[in-house]
Structure 1
Amino acid sequence: MTTQDNLWLRKIAEDPGHSRWYIQRFRDMAARGADLAGEARLIDAMVPRGARILDAGCGTGRVGGHLAAAGHHVVGVDLDPELIAAARADQPGPTWLVGDLSELDLPSAGIPARFDVIVCAGNVMTFVAPSSRQEILRRFRAHLAERGRVAIGFGAGRGYTHDEFLTDAAAAGLTPELLLSTWDLRPFTPGADFLVALLTGAA
């Protein structure tokens, strides 16, 4: 994978201050009292207390941090070391790791592999290299507990259609359980400008 393949790395290459801007943006939003926990509320409702949750493409840790505060065991992974440093500073508690989702192999880092939920919010799947999308989804499948689920959300018009995503998910062994158009449980409809897909690894 080259820098040009990954949209986030391309943004950093074009603007070395991009990560710092992103971190400050969310710190400012939190200071203003903005609701940054919508995705986390949905994930929290899917599992009992003490669940194992992977925050994939965790960024500054806003989703995983909220879930950890609710009593879950959270591991967060992101490609950007600056974002992971911010997560460690702002959201202590979870295990925050720098890593490429297309190479996700948490047992090699001494972390048990099976998660009750893997959440991938913040349009992460539209930032990764197109050639890595299916591999990322396969890695998610490999890290799921027996009855685990993957929750992935991203907007339309970002170079990755929802139909393409669902085809890739099927190729990776993930089956749609529920499709929504928002993190607050509105049903998915044809032409929706956002998709929240809840996927299972069950055949």
Structure 2
Amino acid sequence: MTDTTIAPTINEKARAALGRRNLVFVGLMGAGKSAIGRLVAQSLSIPFIDTDAEIEKVSRMTIPELFSTYGETEFRALETRVIERLLRGGPRVVSTGGGAFINENTRQQIKLSSVSVWLKADLDVLWDRVNKRDNRPLLKTENPKQTLENLMVQRYPIYAEADLTVLSGNVRKDVMVNEVLSIVAGLNEPSGTALSNEGELQ
């Protein structure tokens, strides 16, 4: 008798491995968290939330306006509260702002309820993506590229605490999405949990 069982797709394997947990993207500005997160959510058929967009919705202010009006400390406190609320409603794919995972309280909340994926990119890739837009409050300095490099030095050791790491570079979005789905699908397998790809999101 022929076995007509259809092998599960990579999407189905990733969804099963995730279970009721959220999938949270962390990393610096320009790493592709929102673009890739939205497509991964579509592939998994679960909701997508961008925390910066959610913060802007609840505050009725843009991120630059929040930074300008209240300062970074108050912004981070709001960010922590919003993310804590969002993580209760899993499973969903969540894209976080660059500083979210740096906050210890937020980081612990993510670790308790979610699988975290660090989209890791090198300086030139990040700079190429962020220098075309004037909406990054932390880069409003005399030497924004040096500021970005300083953020990498400060934050990369903390991002490294994420459950999974995928390199973000000069490749198409669909390739990146497949990388993420593959690594999530492999959570229940004994193989390593860090995939890498070099390239840029097109």
Common topology (TM > 0.5): no
- Structure whose alpha-carbon radius of gyration is higher: 2
Higher helix share: 2
- Structure 1 or 2: more strand by fraction: 1
Q: TM-score, normalised by structure 1?
A: 0.27
